[in-house]
Amino acid sequence: GDPKVPVLYKVERTRTGKSFSVRSVKAIQHGKPIFTCQVSFQLSQGSPVQHQFTMPAVPPPEELLTQEELIQKFLQNPNLAERYRKHLNKIQAEDVPIDIKPVNPPDICSLEPQEPKQLFWVRARGYIGETDMKVHCCVAAYISDYAFLGTALLPHRQYHIKFMVSLDHSMWFHAPFRADHWMLYECESPWAGGCRGLVQGRLWRRDGVLAVTCAQEGVLRVEQTPNQSKL
């Protein structure tokens, strides 16, 4: 999309039921669709059928470094190649409105393959407050896309990324949460192939409640010639 051009949203009332309603949304710029979305709404209902996975046991966010602090730590390495130093400086210069604390950050100076799983503590920067839950859902949608698809590339760190973009992104909201409070983002990639990768994610509240489940498929194109060492 073009941030300088207004977006026209066309909403279709796909279904309106007693408990569930569905709306189809098409975002249009320059007369062409740039985004399509299907949204399902439900009236709040109780049920004895209830369970969830168990939240991973990890250190609290107060004991971990932020992404910015980790990058600064890597930049202090005098043996870091200049091209990677420039790349890290570029990342650090980005104005990302999310606080991120990786639980097990990958070693940027190593190209060893890793298991396609990662954990982050995440929250929106600033104060949102006790507002409409839909606002927190919109912010969580933004947060959930950050570094999500990159999980599928962790076993293939020897390759240089040419192109990486989302094809589709699905979210299920299970329980109320605050997007400006720390949540644990658990990401994993069960499959990659054919220039595509599949990733799944869970956003946990600090009290262990599973708040959101996410899934995304994206395009992954890499250079066939492996990268050289970053040192």
Task: Judge if pTM exceeds 0.85.
Answer: yes
- The alpha-helical segments, DSSP class H, found in 153-224 are none
Fold topology of 96-230: Thiol Ester Dehydrase; Chain A (3.10.129)
Q: Which of 29, 52, 145, 158 is catalytic?
A: 145
How many whole angstroms separate alpha carbon 158 and alpha carbon 174? 37
Q: Quick count: other Cβ atoms within 10 Å of Cβ 88?
A: 16
Catalytic residue among 38, 42, 110, 166: 166
pLDDT of residue 112: 86
Residue 110: phi and psi, rounded to 5, are -125, 145
Q: pLDDT tier at 229 (50, 70, 90 boundaries)?
A: low
CATH assignment of 1-43, among 3.40.50.300, 3.10.129.10, 3.30.1600.10, 3.30.565.10: 3.10.129.10
Same fold, 1-43 and 96-230: yes
Q: What is the DSSP string of 114-128?
A: --SEEEEEEEESS--
Mean pLDDT value of segment 133-153: 95
Q: What is the pLDDT confidence band of residue 206, given thresholds at 50, 70 and 90? A: very high
Catalytic status, residue 29 = no
Tell me if residue 180 is catalytic: no
Q: Where are the domains of the chain?
A: 1-43, 63-95, 96-230
CA distance 191 to 55: 22
Is there a catalytic annotation at residue 228?
no
**Which residue, among 231, 201, 206, has the nearest Cα to 216 in the 3D structure?**
201
Q: Which of 67, 118, 144, 216 is catalytic?
A: 216
Whether the pLDDT of residue 228 is over 70: the answer is no
Confidence bin at 80 (pLDDT 50/70/90): confident
Say whether pLDDT at 180 is over 80. yes
Q: What is the pLDDT of residue 217?
A: 98
Interatomic CA distance for residues 109 and 86, integer angstroms: 14
Q: In angstroms, rounded to a whole number, what is the distance separating the alpha carbons of residues 192 and 199?
A: 9
Which helix (H) or strand (E) segment is 138 a member of?
helix 133-144
